[in-house]
Amino acid sequence: MRLTFAVLCLLLAAAGARADQVTAVAAVRAQPKVLDASIDERGNLYVVVKNEMVSWEQYGAAMCRLVRPHQARVFQTHIIDMTSVGKGAKPPQWKRLAQVNCAAIK
């Protein structure tokens, strides 16, 4: 009985976390300069942008602050150059304009 209850609690918690991620990604996609965004299972937020003359570290910090109220469990924000995403490239191959540790952002 306890095991069933524990499993049920885990399933409900996971569903809530997924919903939080959906709202966080929607908030990020609504921002200027953002072409696409996603959150992976390890808490990495990938924000795809056009490479312009912008302080991408500050932009990444702003993305961390933006998703924090959504409680989406984002630990790192990666600002990605849009030209590196196409052609079947995987996330490790994408060109990072900035990588920000969200835990370090106040």
**pLDDT tens digits for 15-54?**
444 568 999 999 999 998 999 999 999 999 999 999 999 8
Task: For the chain, give every domain's residue range.
Answer: 2-104
What is the percent of the chain where pLDDT is above 70?
82
Contact 56, 42 (CB under 8 A): no
Structural fold of domain 2-104:
GMP Synthetase; Chain A, domain 3 (3.30.300)
Q: In this structure, what token pair is assigned to residue 42?
A: 């390890």
Give the Cα separation of 70 and 50 in Å (integer). 25
Q: What was the pLDDT predicted at 5?
A: 47
